[in-house]
Amino acid sequence: MAVPDGFHPDVLAIAAHRDDVEQTCGGTLLRMAARGLRTAILDLTQGESGTRGSAEDRAREAEEAARILGVGWRQALAMPDGAVENTLANRLAIVRVLRLLRPRVVILPYGQARHPDHAIVATLGYEACFLSGLKKLPSGAASDGSSAAGSQSGSEPHRPFKIVYASLYADVRPSFVVDITPYIEQRHQALMAYRSQYANQSAGSGLFVPEEEIRERTFAEARHYGLLAGVRYGEPYVQKEVGLADDLTLLPVQSL
């Protein structure tokens, strides 16, 4: 797994499927990039079980979406699509990436989800973040046979400072919302880069939302969460920790 020399993202989004991140935290990644922060995406599967499109189609589309989102690095592991499990091998596969990239913040899917892969990634990702910090845990060789320890930094323990859960599709009150108002159109473009998934076609037409409705639905969800935080469009997150305040007069989001 190749990482540009010295590239250490401030924010790494981990998700089960290519196009998950675009739906749940793409606006946040755009906002972070606009602030000058480095962002990255790790997809855990290649999308071979999707009703529409091949894994190759989705690889191409994911690359295009990553370009639109302005992320500095995106790769997919090869966990089985539709059968992601929280195994030691899978935890270690993520540990290897965490030790290479050394992100400060990790975004994971929220643990309550319709798709079982999404729910599992919340736990799998959390446990990998924990294990990644253990000095005595060797992460071993990469699954593709190449050694992740080409550089010394690739094998050093690393624990992200913060984990947040993207909760867009969960029935849960978010801990906070990220204002994505200036980036909503660009986020939509990133999602629509997945032509094999979202362009109108006969395969899976009874299962998929028509293209013209995707915009309305995703904007409505963003508007809903934006309203909760007093902005136009937002993406919701849950954090397990409590918030910490310094100056009460600077607390955002108006009460009345």
Stretch that binds Zn ion, among 11-19, 77-85, 87-95, 230-238 (CB under 5 A): 11-19
User: CA torsion, points 35, 36, 37, 42, in degrees to nearest 10?
Assistant: 100
**Per rule CB under 5 A, count of chain residues that contact Zn ion:** 3
Name the residue nearer to Zn ion (CB basis): 22 or 179: 22
239's enclosing H/E stretch is: none
DSSP output for 23-36 = HHTHHHHHHHHHTT
| Per-residue x/- track, 210-239, Zn ion (CB under 5 A) | ------------------------------
Query: What distance in Å separates the CA atoms of residue 124 and residue 44, rounded to the nearest whole number?
Result: 11
Gyration radius (Cα) of the chain, Å: 18
Stretch that binds Zn ion, among 16-24, 46-54, 183-191, 246-254 (CB under 5 A): 16-24
Neighbours of 176 (CB within 10 A): 16
Name the residue nearer to Zn ion (CB basis): 111 or 154: 111
Contacts of 24 (CB under 8 A, 6+ apart): 15, 109, 166, 168, 169, 235
Stretch that binds Zn ion, among 8-16, 85-93, 139-147, 203-211 (CB under 5 A): 8-16
Nearest residue to Zn ion by CB is 17
Positions of E strands within 133-248: 162-166, 176-179, 234-238
* Closest separation in Å from C-beta 10 to Zn ion: 24
Name the residue nearer to Zn ion (CB basis): 20 or 179: 20
Name the residue nearer to Zn ion (CB basis): 17 or 58: 17
Query: What distance in Å separates the CA atoms of residue 27 and residue 33, rounded to the nearest whole number?
Result: 10
Name the residue nearer to Zn ion (CB basis): 49 or 146: 49
Query: What distance in Å separates the CA atoms of residue 154 and residue 140, rounded to the nearest whole number?
Result: 10
Name the residue nearer to Zn ion (CB basis): 16 or 163: 16
* Bridge partners (DSSP) listed for residue 96: none
* Closest separation in Å from C-beta 238 to Zn ion: 18
| Per-residue x/- track, 19-58, Zn ion (CB under 5 A) | -x--------------------------------------
Residue in 9, 11, 17, 71 binding Zn ion, rule: CB under 5 A: 17
Stretch that binds Zn ion, among 2-10, 18-26, 153-161, 236-244 (CB under 5 A): 18-26
Strands 105-109 and 11-15: parallel
Judged by the rule CB under 5 A, the positions of this chain that interact with Zn ion are 16-17, 20
